[in-house]
Amino acid sequence: MSSEPIGYAHLIRVGDLARQTGKTVRAIHLYEEQGLLAPATRSSGGFRLYQSSAIERVRWIDLLHGLGFSLHEMRELIAGWWGSGLGPEAMASLRSLFARKLEETRETIVKHQQLERELTEGLRYLETCRVCATPAAVTGCASCQQDHGMKAEPALVAGIITPPGTARRGRGTGFVAVNEIRSASRVRTSPASDGKEERR
């Protein structure tokens, strides 16, 4: 049975708030320091006590974290909204912010979908390595001739097993052969140029 007065029965302690939201007590205190959260009162023993609505408040902070807001930016957002003169203007500002964050979120989703494809391709390649046709030192993986079911190593794998400065196998690299570079930079003398040097 609780030793707190009856009026405290509906309030929760900071430790319980932390457990229910998956946060640390230190994080809860930090939210308070930033003005994002406030205890309803303190118990006779000095413990912070919060309304049950504090759980949703902490989850709201988590949502903004996910959108890339710092605690300082959250504080400015709240101060700006409550400090607005007219409701429609405040809501218009909030609507603009949400629209911008939605666009940023969609761009992030596209990037993560690309990363998902790269990881899926990398794992598909690596699955074939479970049964290595020619087990050898790890350096042998750089010249592996085993059929991995694809034309070339996926980018995530190639970046590890391909030595720096070496072209990836099985794909056009866009590199020019050394003899072509020398040929292109060689000075040519044209009869029509009166002995003047021509360079490409």
How high is the pLDDT of residue 177?
Answer: 43
How high is the pLDDT of residue 184?
Answer: 46
Higher pLDDT, 75 or 188: 75
User: To the nearest 10°, the Cα dihedral for 80, 82, 87, 93?
Assistant: 20
Supply angle C-alpha 110, 116, 121, rounded to 5.
130
List the structure tokens of 4: 């707190």
Domain ranges of the chain: 6-83, 118-170
Query: Which band of pLDDT confidence, cut at 50, 70 and 90, is reported for residue 190?
Result: very low
pLDDT digits (tens, 9 = 90+) for 177-188: 444 444 444 444
Domain 6-83 sits in CATH at 1.10.1660.10
Q: Where are the beta strands (DSSP E) in 22-77?
A: 41-42, 48-50
Is the overall model pTM greater than 0.75, yes or no?
A: no
User: To the nearest 10°, the Cα dihedral for 50, 56, 58, 60?
Assistant: -150
How high is the pLDDT of residue 165?
Answer: 67
For the chain, give the longest Cα–Cα distance.
107
Number of neighbours of residue 13 by Cβ within 10 angstroms: 18
pLDDT digits (tens, 9 = 90+) for 109-131: 999 999 999 999 999 989 988 88
